[in-house]
A = this chain, B = another copy of it.
């Protein structure tokens, strides 16, 4: 186990009707906030009205900034920063999924910064201050509701880049599983793929002696695998949604990478896919991850055997670790197919071949190889994308 520091201060407010406490929660921080959200879904579902009522009851003034899209755009972040500065706003409330929360976090670090917020995402600066952020989560997926991360897409060149800082752990996150009832099926499945990917990125590590976190990650994966089919079958299955929503937050809240170094190669490859083709992040991950595994499972066969046996209940072939390992990867693919996720680039609607372009962009022309479990250069990435064709 590696040395580590872990501190996650986000207050999780979980359960039925918890969104009605948002005004009270915000009022510990601010009297004038930016209310940030996406399209009309929160108005259709009635969530918007509840939030506004709770804010008004707590005498909290708010200015709205809707319009966050999946793969949230830098231009809207800049607009949000300007609104906050012009109006003396000192708190950002995100109501939505990971895109809205990531956008809110970007605004939060952008407001007190003298330069351009994109600096943070391009390693040109590190945030030293941030407005507090609160969230009401509507999509179990990105884990941004209890994480240090934010991923923003710069439309100028379609660069999709992550930034991490302990400053942007949300102060509170309200998680009501009922808010997920009205999600489109495709979004539910994309969310499940994203959560599984967060867990797999952490699971595939070269750090030794990580039994405890291995087991915790496996437990979280099994919870997702067992409950996502239930919510797809009955979108109002509160109990199954509660499992998915809480597991999705824990998957990405940094507990599960304590003492170990995750990989994150697949995420970075996927960022190129969704940067260029604007595909859903989860769907892109469902395509990239199995290909990534097939390309490099021999790097640590024992770990892939453990993954197969413990997570997927594969009957172990004691005399053929390779067969066991490959069965685990197959089970992962079968799971994705069973929840209507694509597992090929074609299935994702990508028919052309810009593999080298993406590989070069992802690695900065091989100046920065991707991943930790196995370092990937642009040639590796092309090979992985070919395996995903």
Which residue numbers of A lie inside 8 Å of B, CB to CB? Answer: 1-16, 18, 208-209, 211-212, 215-216, 218-220, 222-223, 226-227, 239, 242-243, 246-247, 250, 255, 258-259
Smallest beta-carbon distance A256→chain B, Å: 10
Q: Do A246 and B258 have beta carbons less than 8 Å apart?
A: yes
- Complex Cα distance, B222 from A215, in Å, reads 9
Q: Looking at the complex, which one of B4, B10, B219, B243 makes contact with A209 (CB distance below 8 Å)?
A: B243
CB-CB < 8 A to A255: which residues of B?
250, 255
Q: Do A246 and B219 have beta carbons less than 8 Å apart?
A: no
CB-CB < 8 A to A242: which residues of B?
1, 209, 259
CB-CB < 8 A to A216: which residues of B?
216, 219-220
- Complex Cα distance, B246 from A212, in Å, reads 8
Q: Looking at the complex, which one of B6, B13, B246 makes contact with A259 (CB distance below 8 Å)?
A: B246
- Complex Cα distance, B12 from A255, in Å, reads 11
CB-CB < 8 A to A239: which residues of B?
1, 208-209
Q: Looking at the complex, which one of B9, B218, B219 makes contact with A9 (CB distance below 8 Å)?
A: B9
Q: Do B1 and A7 have beta carbons less than 8 Å apart?
A: no
Q: Do B212 and A243 have beta carbons less than 8 Å apart?
A: yes
- Complex Cα distance, B6 from A8, in Å, reads 11
Smallest beta-carbon distance A36→chain B, Å: 23
CB-CB < 8 A to A246: which residues of B?
1, 212, 258-259
- Are A9 and B7 CB-contacts (below 8 A) given A215-B223, A242-B259, A259-B242? yes
- Complex Cα distance, B377 from A287, in Å, reads 58
CB closest chain-B residue, reference A209 = B239
CB-CB < 8 A to A11: which residues of B?
5-7
Q: Do A259 and B14 have beta carbons less than 8 Å apart?
A: yes
In the assembled complex, 20 residue pairs joining A and B whose CB atoms fall closer than 8 Å, in A order, are: A1-B14, A3-B15, A3-B16, A5-B11, A5-B12, A5-B14, A6-B14, A8-B8, A9-B9, A14-B259, A209-B239, A211-B226, A212-B223, A212-B246, A212-B247, A215-B219, A215-B222, A218-B219, A246-B258, A250-B255
- Complex Cα distance, B298 from A70, in Å, reads 51
Q: Do A5 and B13 have beta carbons less than 8 Å apart?
A: yes
- Complex Cα distance, B8 from A198, in Å, reads 22
CB-CB < 8 A to A3: which residues of B?
14-16, 18
Seed contacts A209-B242, A246-B258; 7 additional CB < 8 Å A-B pairs? A1-B15, A3-B15, A6-B12, A211-B243, A215-B222, A216-B220, A218-B219
CB-CB < 8 A to A215: which residues of B?
219-220, 222-223
Closest 5 A-B residue pairs measured CB to CB?
A3-B15, A215-B219, A209-B239, A7-B11, A1-B242
Smallest beta-carbon distance A190→chain B, Å: 20
- Are A10 and B7 CB-contacts (below 8 A) given A209-B243, A246-B259? yes
CB-CB < 8 A to A211: which residues of B?
223, 226-227, 243
CB closest chain-B residue, reference A244 = B212
CB-CB < 8 A to A258: which residues of B?
12, 14, 246
Smallest beta-carbon distance A157→chain B, Å: 38
- Complex Cα distance, B227 from A212, in Å, reads 10
Smallest beta-carbon distance A7→chain B, Å: 4
Q: Looking at the complex, which one of B16, B212, B259 makes contact with A220 (CB distance below 8 Å)?
A: B212
Smallest beta-carbon distance A58→chain B, Å: 18
- Are A219 and B212 CB-contacts (below 8 A) given A3-B16, A5-B14, A13-B5? yes
Q: Do A14 and B4 have beta carbons less than 8 Å apart?
A: yes
- Complex Cα distance, B222 from A218, in Å, reads 13
CB-CB < 8 A to A212: which residues of B?
219-220, 223, 243, 246-247, 250
